[in-house]
Amino acid sequence: MLMSQKPRRSALYMPASNARAIEKARTLEVDVVILDLEDATAPDAKDAARKQAVAEIAKGGFGEREVVLRVNALDTVWGAEDLAVAAGCGADAVLLPKVSGPKALAEARAALGDSGADLWAMIETVRGIVDLRAIAEAAEKYRLVTLVAGTNDLAKELRCRPGSDRAPLLGALGEIVLAARLTGLVAIDGVCNTLTDADVVRAECEQGLRWGFDGKTLIHPAQVAVANRVFTPSDTEIAWSKQILDAFEQPDNAGKGALQLGGQMVELLHLDEARRILSIAQACGVA
């Protein structure tokens, strides 16, 4: 029987201070709701947003959606109190912005405690890219489960102009995926700044999929359906994966490391990938 996993195709940022937006999030077909205390919350609204986030998480009603609380950076005046509240608020995970090394993970885990939420790390600084391997290798110790690309902040630090192809960022995005695969973490792509043009959003999602990301962070509800569609295995992928699985399960192929299927050479690495695709499809409710 295939092991299922939580899909993280779509991770939607919602201002933690906006109760109406959060209520809408409860109705969206989104995999992850990120209640944002950082970028989406003005400095004079931080305290109110923190209280609102705690109240909304306690209220529940998010169904199967993961609920993640993005706190302010640890070196800000709000970071420590955000983490203190996050320790017992019931969120599935805490998203740390501007993670530039394992020290931030250690400080966050100390504040949250061993029984607290999992950690997600925003990789959005030059130092964070340079120290990605150290961050990823500290994942198990500090219960880091997800790397999130912070493409806007990273572009600012690099002083680059990404454009529609995001070419100046592709090296950094590749590093994030490599680090995630090195240590078994989830990798989620950065946001698309075009809000409602589905073609632009789809192109960026497809690019992220080609580069190996598991899903995409989003900033508008209109982007959710596109991200879900792109990061859900297609009917063709599912059918081919089932063929591979069935072929290797045939008694005549027992113990074989490679075989011919549909005019192609299929190896055990393809079997592993087929199992992964079917697991994702199962989690997305399409297999």
Which segments are annotated as binding site?
70, 124, 153
| Residues annotated in a binding site for substrate | 70, 124
Q: How far is Cα 186 from Cα 183, in angstroms, rounded to an integer?
A: 9
Residue 97's φ and ψ, nearest 5 degrees, are: -80, 155
Closest by CA position to 186, among listed 280, 274, 116, 103: 280
- Known binding-site positions for Mg(2+): 124, 153
Angle between helix 151-158 and 170-183 (nearest 10): 130
Contact (Cβ atoms closer than 8 angstroms) between residue 216 and residue 209: no
User: Rounded distance, CA 131 to CA 144, Å?
Assistant: 15
